[in-house]
Chain A
């Protein structure tokens, strides 16, 4: 996984609440068996007109936001389905950090698994960032110090989960980390097999 440490970029304001994963990446693009190449379909229905031409009302189609690595969004961003394609599409487009007052739970963790940094911040902070972003200028996200530095340099602190931060800073493969606990998993299974043997003998799936 890519490491996430510091990021400096302009930020694109997407002033909508409840942006669901169907909006981020519609189902017709979920048929892929790859993780890459989804960026051109990001926000497809909003980004393109019915005739396939760019819709310049949409923020990510306007300069300079086309090159934004930071997305500012309204509450409950990424609600809806579990499709990791939503995170992959944002990543492929170039987005590395999303700041919103709240997120869909599964989307939030999907971002982190792809080396992207979703940050929850207060409603007022996000609104202020959006106003600031429309004036241009680069924000710097410093995960180590847990700060968003405004274009004028003013630092705004944010909270972050310790474990997720550790994984992002070091680009850790969490399957590898869990496999180090294989002995614990063996012990758990042996104990469960004794107390709930039917979980192992039922004609399951096998």
Chain B
């Protein structure tokens, strides 16, 4: 009998094209996603070297980071952004790569588009010049972010030279309490292992609380693997995964689908497979989470308080906490629910899928955005937007006073016109609360879509479980 293997090991082993005795492997890449920010220099070098794209059929490009979320008809006002998006259009045309332009209903955030089109499948290796490529691991694919030089390498050779990472299993056992979402689970994991806790590892998320998540929830969890330092996160494919993929345009069709599904069912980690590190978390103990600092591991339960740096023994950590509190304009000991916010952002590759919008709309329905708050919803793709409009979610958001925008990365990184002003405080469903991430001097609190909705209607960081029922 062969050695028991983890899901990751099965994928890795089946993609090694060549291995060297010093431990590096040339790994085959099944699918490559491309966006406008990290690809221009790669195409340029390819052109200079006279090289071709090896598998244009396995490559898909979409503009997402720079695109405006209002008045698309007017084009892109910022000249640099416009040039970058136009460059992607030209490059994909020249090299024969499929490109979803801003006017295509399938356009959206690259990590939402891939799964939505059925391009993301179990057992695949998937890369993109973007760290949140880890999202695709929710399907049981080995998916990770790469830099521009590696983008060029994949375009030219359809492979990458990699050293095998270590494996970690994070088991979230038990059942999550009501009002606790995938976002809260992953923030709690990051809070526990830290932003470098996963460095050098591929994390497999397992346990009942993970299995019970929808595909959307699983994507939210894998998405933030990189915030725990791990380049990739994976979740075993199951019948939910298969059902999600059936009938999607880029998924295998007809008889091919059944053959593929049979193969996908062989992928989950063997029962006796051994991981280099095991972490267990009790789902029952997780409360809705909110970050207080400028690193995703600076997180507490919404029922908690801003922590006190004086109680931190490690001098470097203490300095980091003090800097974070100063930047965030917070005082140690303040109850999280006493913190007023003025902006709300529901969007990003972490939380802008249809299920996220349904959950947020469920909280918003029958309520109004607080007078002191400017709130917006940026759907993850054109198809998510359309679906939300069909279901009446857009009307719910608009009636409450939310702005309803066009799809893109938007205020997740504020590369387009959507950004915080210095000192503005935002409840955001995105993934990074770094200094300046949402605009210079902007203050970000990471939360779930439900919690963002609760903050919008109360004007403060709020425990969604404690909202008074909507009066009839």
| A202: B residues at CB distance < 8 A | 250-253, 256
A50-B422, A84-B147 known; 9 other A-B pairs, CB under 8 Å?
A18-B195, A22-B437, A27-B413, A27-B437, A45-B440, A113-B150, A198-B252, A203-B250, A205-B58
The smallest beta-carbon distance between B265 and chain A, in angstroms, is 14
Distance (whole angstroms) from the CB of B347 to the closest CB of chain A: 15
Contact A192 B28 (CB under 8 A): yes
Taken together as a complex, chains A and B put the C-alpha atoms of A206 and B57 apart, in Å, by 5
In the complex, are the beta carbons of A199 and B30 less than 8 A apart? yes
A199 to B231 alpha-carbon distance, docked (Å): 24
Hey, what's the 0/1 contact readout for B320-360 against A, CB within 8 Å counting as 1? Answer: 10010000000000000000000000000000000000000
Chain A residues numbered 29-47 whose CB sits less than 8 Å from any CB in chain B: 30-35, 45
Is the pair B129, A82 in contact by a Cβ cutoff of 8 Å?
yes
Q: A17-B316, A75-B316 are in contact. Are A81 and B148 (CB under 8 A)?
A: no
Chain B CB within 10 A, most for which of A15, A16, A20, A197? A20
Of the listed stretches A57-65, A150-158, A171-179, name the one at the interface; the rest are far from the partner chain: A171-179
A102 within 8 A of B: yes
| In the bound complex, CA of A97 to CA of B153 (Å) | 23
Tell me if A102 and B199 are in contact (CB < 8 A): yes
When the two chains form their complex, are residues B156 and A175 in contact, meaning their CB atoms are under 8 A apart?
A: yes
On whether the beta carbons of B316 and A105 are closer than 8 Å, the reply is no
Contact with A163, one of B24, B44, B58 (Cβ below 8 angstroms) = B24
Interface: A79 (CB within 8 A): yes
Measured between beta carbons, the chain B residues less than 8 angstroms from A82 are 38, 129-131, 145-147
Chain B residues in 8 Å Cβ range of A128 = none
Contact of A52 with B by CB under 8 A: no
List the 5 closest A-B pairs by CB distance, nearest first.
A113-B149, A198-B252, A33-B40, A31-B80, A110-B147
Known: A201-B256, A205-B59. A79 touches B196 (CB 8 A): yes
Task: Show 7 A/B contacts (Cβ-Cβ < 8 Å), sorted by A.
Answer: A45-B440, A75-B196, A81-B130, A185-B26, A202-B256, A205-B60, A205-B250
Stretch at the interface among B158-166, B180-188, B205-213: B158-166
A72 to B227, CA, bound (A): 23
- Whether the pair A178, B147 counts as a contact (CB closer than 8 A) is no
CB distance from B16 to the nearest CB of A (A): 9
Give the number of chain B interface residues (Cβ < 8 Å): 86
Q: Is B309 an interface residue (CB 8 A)?
A: no
Instruction: Establish whether residues A80 and B149, one from each chain, have CB atoms under 8 Å apart when the complex forms.
Output: no
**B263 contacts A22, CB within 8 Å?**
no
Chain A CB count within 10 A is highest, among B51, B149, B253, B317, for: B149
Per-position 1/0 for B98-128, Cβ under 8 A of A: 1000000000000000000001000110000
Mask, B236-273, CB within 8 Å of A = 1, is: 00000000000001111100110110010000000000
Closest beta carbon of chain B to A151's beta carbon, Å: 24
- Return chain B residues, CB-CB under 8 Å to A114: 149
Q: A148: CB under 8 A from chain B? A: no
Contacts A22-B434, A82-B147; A178 near B119 (Cβ below 8 A):
no
Q: Given known contacts A105-B229, A162-B22, A204-B60, is B37 in contact with A23 (CB within 8 Å)?
A: no
B316 touches A163 (CB 8 A): no
In B395-440, the 8 Å CB interface with A consists of 413-415, 422, 432, 434-437, 440
Q: Which of B437-458 contact A (CB under 8 A)?
A: 437, 440
B119, B130, B131, B226: most-surrounded residue (chain A CB, <10 A): B131
Let me know if B199 and A33 touch, CB within 8 A.
no
